[in-house]
Amino acid sequence: MKTHTYSCSRTCTHTNLGKQATANARESLEWGTKIIGGVTPGREGEHLGLPVLPNVRKAMEVLKPDATGIYVAAHQATGAIEEAIEAEVPLIVAVAEHIPLHDMLRIHSILKTQSTCRLVGANSPGIISAVGKCRIGFQPLPCFEPGRIGIVARSGTLSYETAASTLRSGLGQSMCIGVGGDILPGTSIREGLQILVEDNDTEGIALIGEIGGDAELEAADWIREYRAKTTNPKPIAALIGGVKAVPGRIMGHAGAFALPGEPSALDKIEALKGVGAAIVNHPSRFGPVLKSMLSGSTPTGAGVATSGGISQRREMHTIARRPVSARLVLPKGVNSQKRTLYITQSAAFDLLRRHGVSIAEKANPGAQKLLAVTVNRSTRSPCVIASPSSDASEAAKFDFAYGASGNPDVSVAALAEHMRLDASSADSLGQAISALVAVFAEKEAFLLETRVVPNNNGDRTTIELAAARFGFDDAAFRSCGRQADAQGLRDAVAEDPAEVGVVEKDGIVYIKLEDGDIGTLVNGAGLAMNTVDALADAGGRAANFLDTGGKATSETVKRSFEVILTDPRVKCIFVNIFGGLTRGDMIADGIVMAFRDLRMSVPVVVRIRGTNEKEGQRIIAESGLPLFAFDDFDEAAAKAIELAKEGLHL
- Rounded Cα–Cα distance for residues 608 and 631 (Å): 6
Q: What is the pLDDT of residue 501?
A: 57
H or E element, residue 320:
helix 316-320
- CA distances, 93 to each of 3, 179, 180, 213, 585 (Å): 12, 9, 10, 21, 31
Q: What is the pLDDT of residue 4?
A: 40
- Rounded Cα–Cα distance for residues 388 and 415 (Å): 10
Q: Which of 4, 75, 253, 317 is catalytic?
A: 253
Q: Structure pTM?
A: 0.92
Sheet holding 340-342, edge to edge: 340-342, 460-473, 445-457, 369-376, 381-386, 396-399
Nearest to 587 by CA among 605, 563, 564, 613: 613
Nearest to 253 by CA among 98, 72, 378: 98
- Rounded Cα–Cα distance for residues 159 and 286 (Å): 10
| Number of C-beta neighbours around residue 403 at 10 A | 12
| Sign of torsion over alpha carbons 529, 535, 541, 546 | negative
Q: Give the pLDDT confidence of 42-67 residue by residue, as tens digits.
A: 889 998 999 988 889 999 999 999 89
- Rounded Cα–Cα distance for residues 323 and 393 (Å): 6
Residue count of the chain:
650
Helix (H, G, I), strand (E, B) or coil at 241: strand
Q: Give the pLDDT confidence of 106-127 residue by residue, as tens digits.
A: 999 999 999 999 999 999 999 9
Nearest to 238 by CA among 307, 148, 340: 307
Within its chain, how far is the Cα of 544 from the centroid?
A: 18
The domains of the chain, with CATH numbers, are: 1-123 (3.40.50.720), 130-326 (3.40.50.261), 339-492 (3.30.470.20), 507-646 (3.40.50.261)
DSSP 8-state code for residue 274? H
- Rounded Cα–Cα distance for residues 397 and 386 (Å): 7
- Rounded Cα–Cα distance for residues 475 and 490 (Å): 14
Mean pLDDT split into 10-residue runs, the chain, 650 residues: 38 54 88 87 88 91 91 92 96 95 97 97 96 94 96 96 96 98 97 98 98 98 98 98 92 93 96 98 97 94 74 29 38 41 90 93 83 97 96 95 85 96 93 95 96 87 93 92 86 68 75 95 94 97 90 83 95 89 82 92 91 87 91 95 81
DSSP symbols for 181-212: S-SS-SS-HHHHHHHHHT-TT--EEEEEEESS
How many Cα atoms sit within 13 Å of 12 on the Cβ side? 32
Q: Three-state secondary structure along 486-539?
A: HHCCECHHHCCHHHHCHHHHCCCEEEECCCCCEEEEECCHHHHHHHHHHHHHCC
Region label for 536, one of left (φ > 0), alpha (ψ between -120 and 50) or beta (otherwise): alpha
Strands (E), 416-459: 445-457
| Number of C-beta neighbours around residue 397 at 10 A | 19
User: Is there a catalytic annotation at residue 253?
Assistant: yes
Question: Using CB atoms within 10 A of its CB, is residue 405 exposed (0-12), middle (13-18) or buried (19+)?
Answer: exposed
Contact predicate 287/167, CB 8 Å: yes
